[in-house]
Structures are given as C-alpha cells and as structure tokens.
Amino acid sequence: MKKLFIFNLVLILSILSYAQDTSVDVVEHSEENSKCFFCHGSPTYSYYNDVMERTVTKRMNPYFLIDSVLYYDQNHKSFDCIDCHSYEFKEFPHGNTLRMEPMPQCLDCHEGDDATASYNFEKINDEFLESVHSAKHSEEFTCWMCHNPHSYKINARNNINVKETIIYDNNICLSCHADINKYQLISSNTKPNVINKHDWLPNQLEHFAHVRCIECHAHTSNDVMVAHQIQTKDMAVKKCVKCHSSNSMLMSSLYKFQAQENRKKYGFFNSEILSESYMIGANRNLYLNILSAVIFGGILLIILIHAILRIILK
C-alpha cells in the first residue's frame, strides 16, 4: 500500500506540474494508466502464481519501464495505454502471446487527419521510406526505433533554443549508434565508432555540439520541418563551404524554424537568424567587408610605397 501511495503521489504531482498546458483528457486517462504504471513504473512487480499457490515478485524488464513524468510531458500524453496496446493487456498477468503484438505506426492514426495535416506525416513517411534505414532494414526499422512512443515530444518545430534542439535530436541518433544493445536489434555488425568515423572532421567536439547529425546525413526538403531521408554515408556532406557561407545550408535545416519565424518579422537575413550563434562565413556584414578590404588595401599600398622609397633612396 505504501508503494502504491508513493507512486500515485508522484503521478499526481507530475500531472499537476503540467496543468497549465494539459487538457482534461490527461486527468481522465491517468486513472486508467496508473494501473499500468503501477508495474511498469517500478523496478519490481508482483502477481499470484496459481501453480506455486503464492504471490511471486519479479524484476521488471528495464526496457519495459515507463517514466510517468516523461509520459505526461510528451505528444501522446492524453492517450490511454490501451489506445495503442491490446485491450487484453487489462488482464494481469498478461498472456504470453501479447508479446507478439505489433506496434501501430504513425500513419495508422495520422494519415488523412485534418488536425495534424500541417505536420505532413504522409511526406515524412515518404522520406523515411527512401532513407537508408528503411531501405536497408525494411519493416524491422520503424518510427519507434528513433521516436520513443512513451516520451517523444516535438522539439525542432517549436523550440527557439537551438542548442536544446541539437542535444535532443542528436541523442535520438546516438540512442542506436552509441548503444550496442539497441544497434544489434537490426544489425549483426559491430557498433561503428562515431569518433573514428568522423576523424576527417576538424574540431569534432565543436561540430558535435553545434550541429545535428542530420545536417550532414539527410536530404532536406521544404515540405518537412525535420529531414527524415537519411542518406548513405558516401552521400554525407564533407564540404565546409556548404555550411560556412553566406548561403549556409543550415538555413534550410537546423535554423528552418527560426528562419520561418524571423522571416515574418525581418525578412530573410542570415544575420538575424544566426545572431545567437556565430558561424564562420555565414555571419557577414557588407560594411565590415568593405572596411576590411579598404584597410587591407591601405596596408598593401603603404608597404608598396615604402618599398619604392627605399629603392629610390638607395
């Protein structure tokens, strides 16, 4: 009972902490979901074993543990667990055959949905099907490989803090490429060493901290906020000028959301969008360029005059 009380207290506090932007649906669903979280939110669970005729306590599989606080702060926080999982999960202990239940995909709910039409889920799915992940691993690689259905929340589409977006999105990639256990769910290859694979890249740590993996590894389009068409490694961007220029490709990927917001206010100017993060070659000022050219030319002229005078006087 004490365990149940503590769990319910944490659950209630997590709900109240998001009360300002959470619909009544969350409260209505939380009571039903709390029955699931009672086991899936704890490192252990108990059930009565009919064969042994006694209550047995087992360790919860760590991959089946769900953080209720994260759950009620994510995109699908108003859902019942059984909205996605079989209604038969309400029976406890669960039947073994339920382990074989396939997870629903994004388009199962969002295809043709007017409420989410602005997200272009159909276009996202088209891009994903053309990605190296889908082409190489087919049905084994699903949306949920990257987007945890119990904690995923939109970031790049509504967050003006670029650094937070970079960390969040890169952690999605590293959840496979830095986790051998998850990586080998779909591949028998040894885990690639991210650092060694990018040994050609100067200032690695600076790049990893200030750009996302998909900036160099995905094809961008105007229809989708975050690129989903991940390309093969031989197609990765390796030319510095692609980013370090006044027409930086980052404007159509990492800074796309900021570009759209700033275009409404100021028009399309790199200096406005990149004002909070200096990008060599991208943050240019016409007048400073002219002044620099004048100063450089003046110095050359002085050196030339000095050389001529020395020759004449000698």
- For 289-301, the pLDDT digits (tens) are 788 889 999 999 9
Tell me what the mean pLDDT of segment 75-82 comes to.
90
At residue 217, does pLDDT exceed 60?
yes
Burial 274-294 (b: 16+ CB within 10 A, else e): beeeebeebbeeeeeeeeeee
In a domain? residue 123: yes
Q: How many domains does the chain have?
A: 3
Q: Which of 183, 209, 238 is the last residue of a domain?
A: 238
**pLDDT at position 156:** 81
Long-range contacts of 229-237 (CB under 8 A, 24+ apart): 229/127, 229/128, 229/130, 229/131, 230/131, 230/132, 230/133, 231/131, 231/132, 232/132, 233/197
Give residue 313's pLDDT.
85
Task: Give me the pLDDT at residue 219, please.
Answer: 92
Q: What is the mean pLDDT of residues 227-240?
A: 92
Q: Are residues 74 and 164 in the same domain?
A: no
pLDDT tier for residue 1 given thresholds of 50, 70 and 90: very low
Task: Give ∠ CA 169-175-181 in degrees, rounded to 5.
Answer: 170
In the block, which residue shows the tokens 């042994």? 52
Place of tokens 């891009």: 127
**Cα angle for residues 165, 114, 141 (degrees, 5° grid):** 50
Domain residue limits at 174: 112-238
pLDDT of residue 300: 93
Is residue 243 one of the residues assigned to a domain?
Answer: no
**pLDDT number for residue 258:** 74
Same domain, 65 and 132: no
251/263 Cα distance (integer angstroms): 12
DSSP label at residue 278: -
In the predicted model, what is the mean pLDDT of residues 189-202?
85
- Inside any domain, residue 138: yes
Count Cα atoms within 13 angstroms, Cβ side, for 63. 3
The chain-wide mean pLDDT, for the chain, equals 82
Which one is predicted more confidently, 58 or 191? Answer: 58
State whether 164 and 217 are in the same domain.
Answer: yes
Q: Is the pLDDT of residue 303 over 60?
A: yes
In this structure, are 60 and 178 located in the same domain? Answer: no
Cα 272 → chain centroid: 24
Q: How far is residue 60's CA from residue 42's CA, in Å, rounded to a whole number?
A: 7
Residue 70, pLDDT above cutoff 80: yes
The reply to whether 304 falls in a domain is yes
Q: Is there a single domain that holds both residue 31 and residue 140?
A: no
User: Across residues 201-220, what is the average pLDDT?
Assistant: 91
Residue 254 lies in a domain: no
- Range among 90-94, 265-269, 310-314 rated most confident: 90-94
Alpha-carbon span 230 to 145, nearest angstrom: 14
Domain-embedded: residue 116: yes
User: Using CA atoms in the order 117, 118, 123, 125, what is the torsion angle rounded to 10 degrees?
Assistant: -70
Do residues 124 and 89 both lie within one domain? no
Q: In terms of pLDDT, which residue wins out, 129 or 289?
A: 129
Angle of helix 24-40 versus helix 2-16 axis, rounded to 10:
150
Instruction: Choose one of 238, 253, 272: the last residue of a domain.
Output: 238
Task: Give the per-residue pLDDT at 281.
Answer: 62
Same domain, 63 and 127: no
Residue 66 lies in a domain: yes
> How far, in Å, CA of 108 to CA of 149, rounded?
14
| pLDDT given for residue 21 in this prediction | 45
Binned at pLDDT 50, 70 and 90, residue 283 comes out as: low
Helix, coil or strand: residue 244 = coil
At residue 113, the pLDDT reads 86
118 and 231 belong to one structural domain: yes
Q: Which pLDDT tens digit goes with each residue over 31-44? A: 889 999 999 999 99
Burial state string for 101-121 with b = 16 or more CB within 10 A and e = fewer than 16: eeeeebeeebeeeeeeeebbb
- Residue 4 and residue 37: Cα distance in Å, rounded? 10
Q: What is the pLDDT of residues 250-279, one digit of tens each?
A: 888 888 877 776 666 655 555 445 555 555
Identify the CA nearest to 221 among candidates 123, 117, 121: 123
Closest by Cα among 257, 256, 252 to 242: 252
27 and 76 share a domain?
yes
| Residues 68 and 119 reside in one and the same domain | no
pLDDT above 70: percentage of residues in the chain:
82
Cα distance between the two ends of the chain: 102
Choosing from 69, 101, 133, the residue where a domain stops is 101
Question: Is the residue at 267 inside a domain?
Answer: no
The answer, yes or no, to whether residue 114 has pLDDT greater than 70, is yes
pLDDT value of residue 157: 79
Max CA distance (Å), the chain: 112
C-alpha distances out from residue 223 to 157, 158, 227, Å: 13, 16, 9
pLDDT at 149 over 70: yes
